[in-house]
Structure 1
């Protein structure tokens, strides 16, 4: 299905990003796996290789434009091209709006919006040069659709990513590049499962009776960068077990 495809996935040392990387390698995609934590990136790649996947680690800060350029070049040096970019890296800094510090806002914006924007730009330039077509996928959130307490800045960036996906339809369709977003709801990951009440709370308020698994999100991501979705672009797929249809607060 993924004939000769090469993907860059940021923030993929664990959680959703790692599962997307793993699922894509199962389909034969060659993957450049990024994480800011070098140890996590190396361990993730080791695990994928042990399962037979073709993957390299490219550790570094996905908010740094210079690093993004280097990462794309490392991917090309290793695999000869890049056809898929999945901007999964993001940061959540909780605080009340009236107490939110400028440093926190700029940090969230630089990675969630800036890192995603410039990864898409750099990969799109390469896809244009290759004349190969390709796919770009942003990782949004249900907080870009429904207000969450203490997550105004984060939700703002996630809503912005969905508009970025729409806007790039005008800019990139002529190069046969599709651009979409996924908005996950509550998802059981290494980070969220550190909260003992997380699964209980979200199972109670999610219509499907449980939070998402990383596999739920990864399967949607694989679809949106696959040949099966070539005529889908500028869209956001919400994967939340129905939560945004009813939107009860977890607080």
Structure 2
């Protein structure tokens, strides 16, 4: 077990990629804090992990709320005794051309992706430093941390921002043994991506099949979606890495869509 007795707080962990990472981390011996806007769904995921023999605790968390983030992290520390790993995963997608992008929607996107990453980082870093046992911070970026795509201005801007944040956290956290990295998946077939398929078909005036083949997967080496398990295994690797040699980096997991 690569993460035995490590405490991992994962945002947006009630479903999708976050849930897959939570389950895989529990298999690797970690104690899991399921932080999600939907407490009922978070509690259900925590129950699933406990029924499988793991340890999990659910907290309600709107990552764009300073009060909820600070309370959720404090509750997690009180329950498990500390935080060793943060995965900042919560996110949404809003598709629109720049000229039609409503400012309130732009602000909502950045609040969840960027404010959420900052607030959870600050709270978890404070907890890590107080316990003095180091830690790992993992941001859920995207191939869009390095690429641009039409109709995704706020998402692309936010995902690029996570790479910059990770670099700063890696430098500031090094003296306390805290590493920070970004996972940058390609398209993963989750409800978030499924929602985009008809939206992009409408924007581009093409079929949903063509959105998949000619937009989402056209630059991959094998025409395959990245899987939640691909991402979860990368997250285990980054959290378990034994030294500061791997910090401030972005790891692309995209079936060759983007090659650095």
Superposition TM-score, scaled by structure 2 size: 0.89
In 1, distance between residues paired with 2:120 and 2:98? 29
Query: Which of 247, 251, 260 is 1:237 aligned to?
Result: 251
In 1, distance between residues paired with 2:222 and 2:137? 29
Q: Tell me if structure 2 keeps the 8 A contact 1:162–1:181.
A: yes
| Gapped regions of structure 2 (runs ≥ 5) | 198-207
Aligned partner of 2:176 in structure 1 is 175
In 2, distance between residues paired with 1:203 and 1:10? 27
Aligned partner of 2:238 in structure 1 is 224
In 1, distance between residues paired with 2:96 and 2:152? 7
Aligned partner of 2:59 in structure 1 is 58
Q: Deviation at 1:199?
A: 5.4
Aligned partner of 2:200 in structure 1 is none
Secondary structure at the counterpart of residue 191 of structure 2: coil
Q: Deviation at 1:170?
A: 2.1
Q: Deviation at 1:59?
A: 1.9
Pair 1:208 & 2:222 matched: yes
| Gapped regions of structure 1 (runs ≥ 5) | 247-251
In 1, distance between residues paired with 2:45 and 2:113? 22
Superposition TM-score, scaled by structure 1 size: 0.92
In 2, distance between residues paired with 1:48 and 1:105? 35
In 2, distance between residues paired with 1:33 and 1:102? 31
Aligned length: 246
Q: Deviation at 1:45?
A: 1.4
Aligned partner of 2:155 in structure 1 is 154
Aligned partner of 2:37 in structure 1 is 36
Q: Tell me if structure 2 keeps the 8 A contact 1:83–1:134.
A: yes
Aligned partner of 2:135 in structure 1 is 134
Q: Deviation at 1:193?
A: 4.1
Q: Deviation at 1:44?
A: 1.3
